[in-house]
Structure 1
Amino acid sequence: MTIGSPSRATRVSRVAVYCSAVCCSAVCAVGAPAIASSPEGARLSVEAGAQDAKAAQEPPSLYRPGTQVRPRAGAPRVPRDVSATSWLVADVRSGEVLAAHNAHRRLPPASTLKTLFALTVLPTLPAGLRHTVEREELEGIGAGSSLVGVEENRTYRVADLWRGVFLSSGNDAVRVLAALNGGWRTTAERMQDKARALGARDTRVVSPDGYDAPGQVSSAYDLAVFGRAGLRNAEFAEYCATVTAKFPAGGWAYDIQNTNRLLTGTGVARYPGLIGIKNGYTSNAGNTLIAAAERDGRTLVVTVMRPRAGGGFAVYEEARSLLDWGFRAAGRVDAVGSLVPPRPAAAPQAGPESPAPVREEKERAAGPGWPAAGAITGAAGLGAAAVALALRFKGARLARG
């Protein structure tokens, strides 16, 4: 065993260890506060993770099967005569869902899907635009489709075509408007994007007119979302509330009437205060309906999908029962959900179309923010200083030895 000064190799090894220790300490000392204060660091919390897991295990009540309602003392009972496979009642102003039954069950929507078509295409086409229909634009209309009477080589205003959509549920009018919007497939894709933007996750668009197509589905929840959004569009609200209109036929025009029986009072009693929106029927979907009414300053929207009893008028009578219940129950039940799409937890309290989430994504994509960048820069600086100090120490020791 040799006693005395350490060898050169030993001194260099000690310097290396010293440098490593200094650098690691600097990074830990500076980086730890930044990690602890960042959202990413916060998400590492065991408590937060447990809460997230618990929330994931408890789905919102609207996703549960059966009837969902939270009555207070004295609240009226949900009508028992409603046989629909799926239905929903909501307040238009707040978006609160007062009650629902199988709200997210995916079913064929029939012509109620035309509400999503209108929400997507209305903003792109001026009402006064005149268009001469070409033969190709009327190709592909499904057998047995409802028609308003659009003819090739005839010129129509866009507003005429929209009345054909809302009043007569004309699939021929939908075809022409879709052609003006970029084509059938493009329109379906844009409708799908619009549904997602509105928070309607149950809807899959295959045929923009609502004609039966494999895989095409929606839900009572999504249809209520479309109806609520439509009432916020002045053109949509006007068209869906129109009872009768004239449809051009060259040098003359003929009368068309809205097929929503609660609005016209045809075959059933007209519902007081009804303001639209859209009905539908196919052999696969059965009867479907989105209806909105106003009473005493409150506006409600109901959706009814596929009644299982009562015949062809049942969809209207069941909507009537649900509207009556909704107006009586307002203020006496707690909401079981909302038609307003959920916001990310970290997003500011802004409207559903707020650009804030987009800005947040851009900032995340650009890299760490100033606190994190400062921590990294500071750690690097301290590490470099430590290395320089150690090398200087090493040089002095080697010079002496």
Structure 2
Amino acid sequence: MRLPISPQVRRALVALTATAVTAGAAVGPAVASGHPAKPGTATPGAPGGEAKKQPPANMSQLGGAQLGAAGDQVGPGAPALPPELSALSWVVADADTGQVLGARNAHWPLPPASTLKMLFADTVLPGVPHDASRKVGDEDLKGMGDGSSAVGIVPGQTYQVPDLWRGVFLRSGNDAVHVLAAMNGGVPKTVADMQKKAEALGARDTHVLSPDGYDTPGQVSSAYDLALFLRSGLKNKDFKAYCGTASADFPGGPNTKGKPFGISNTNRMLSGIDGVARYPGLIGGKNGYTTNAGNTLAEAAQRDGHTLVVTVMNPQENKHDKVYTEMRQLLDWGFAAAGKAKPVGTLDPPPAGTGAGKGGTVAAGSAAGSDDSGLGVLGWTGIGAAVIVAGGAGVLVLTRRKRGGSQTDAVG
């Protein structure tokens, strides 16, 4: 039997879950190094549950009924889609107008990997003073997932906030995320803040359980929501600058005798490293990879007076650069469609509860498999597990620490 739950209670339960899971994770060992992460280094992660290969039967219709339909969605006047697109989900949208020009399974809740760091930045950037600094303690790095991608933060050393953000955006450093989360009041608060921000942006497919995108059972987002996060971030000049930085120097530690070392952006479409050519007009974005999420990528680019945001989740072809190949194809397709194709939806739907409006119907459920509580894929099982962890049993911690995943944003 499904019981109706008010939005206030639902938010409280989600916050409880996030706090409990994070508290349980905090007993794990800190992971930090005095040198930058090496591209190609495998980093074991926690299993988040294998992604299903077929979209749910009842996806959200937020932003338009077509966006809740399975398969490719394009409007009249659109050019033919690129052949052999293998991603489970993707969205092409106009960042200025909010029009969704094309999509595949836009609201399919899937593991986001480090593209979730865009939501982290949307949430934390405005609240942590840009001129602040932090002397990092061991406590700041506790709770990081085993083998997390890291920029090379050293406990006992003081870091400026801009350097920490470059660690987040360029090297996808979970260590930098955790230090900034500590400056934001701690990981549990930051996770709850991120969930609140997601809801404010209309990202109702998203359930946040870690601040850095590390594989965590029940943590999901969607191609639609990732487009919302990047579009929101582009309105913040610091976010836009960081996500568009190809390389920078990072403060050194004992292993470099205090000398700064160079870091390149793991978003290879921006940095142009490892055989991936830079994309003309690219503004920037965020990439991610875990074993369970596959490759995920969000990019923004400008051409001929149009600004596009494109998101790609989990290409199925096991090729080294497939996520970048499909992103390049979809960006080219989007610029060809801009101003010509009828949109299939919008990133600016009406507020919840107002019914149909600009861009189409608002679905009653926010995610596949959701019940009347709106808890979606998190569900009652996740809440029960969170309460168990909060009570000290630690069952979920043991599950989360089980090896079998991999987080290697450096090669994403």
TM-score between the two structures when normalised by the length of structure 1? 0.70
Partner of residue 70, structure 1 = 75
SS of the counterpart of 1:318? helix
Partner of residue 272, structure 1 = 280
Q: Offset at 1:341? A: 3.7
Q: Offset at 1:346? A: 7.3
Alignment partner of 1:217 out of 220, 228, 238: 220
Matches within 5 A, 1:157-306: 157-250=160-253, 251-266=258-273, 267-306=275-314
1:287 maps to a residue whose letter is: N
Partner of residue 24, structure 2 = none
Contact 2:64 2:346 in 1 (8 A): no
Q: Offset at 1:310? A: 4.4
Q: Deviations over 1:33-60 (max 9, x none)?
A: xxxxxxxxxxxxxxxxxxxxxxx9x971
Matches within 5 A, 1:2-401: 60-72=65-77, 75-250=78-253, 251-266=258-273, 267-343=275-351
Q: Deviations over 1:343-371 (max 9, x none)?
A: 36879x9xxxxxxxxxxxxxxxxxxxxxx
Q: 2:241 & 2:354 partners in 1: Cα distance?
A: 38
Q: Offset at 1:143? A: 1.5
More displaced stretch, 336-345 vs 294-303: 336-345
SS of the counterpart of 1:123? coil
2:338 maps to a residue whose letter is: A
Partner of residue 12, structure 2 = none
SS of the counterpart of 1:299? strand
Consecutive unaligned residues of structure 1, counting only runs of 5 or more, are 1-55, 350-401
Q: 2:353 & 2:189 partners in 1: Cα distance?
A: 33
Q: 1:127 & 1:305 partners in 2: Cα distance?
A: 32
Q: 2:83 & 2:272 partners in 1: Cα distance?
A: 24
Contact 1:287 1:312 in 2 (8 A): no
2:73 maps to a residue whose letter is: Q
Q: 1:245 & 1:153 partners in 2: Cα distance?
A: 22
Cα 1:141–1:256 change in 2 (3 A) is same
Q: 1:59 & 1:168 partners in 2: Cα distance?
A: 36
Q: Deviations over 1:129-187 (max 9, x none)?
A: 01100111111211221100011010000110000000000000001000111111110
Q: 2:72 & 2:350 partners in 1: Cα distance?
A: 22
Q: 1:286 & 1:345 partners in 2: Cα distance?
A: 34
Greater relative contact order (Cα < 8 A, sep 6+): 2
Q: Which runs of 4+ in 1 moved over 2 A?
A: 343-347
Larger Rg over CA atoms: 1
Count of residue pairs brought into register by the alignment = 290
Q: 2:306 & 2:64 partners in 1: Cα distance?
A: 29
Q: 1:345 & 1:86 partners in 2: Cα distance?
A: 26
TM-score between the two structures when normalised by the length of structure 2? 0.68
Contact 1:245 1:255 in 2 (8 A): yes
Contact 2:64 2:345 in 1 (8 A): no
1:121 maps to a residue whose letter is: V
Contact 1:108 1:285 in 2 (8 A): yes
Contact 1:198 1:341 in 2 (8 A): no
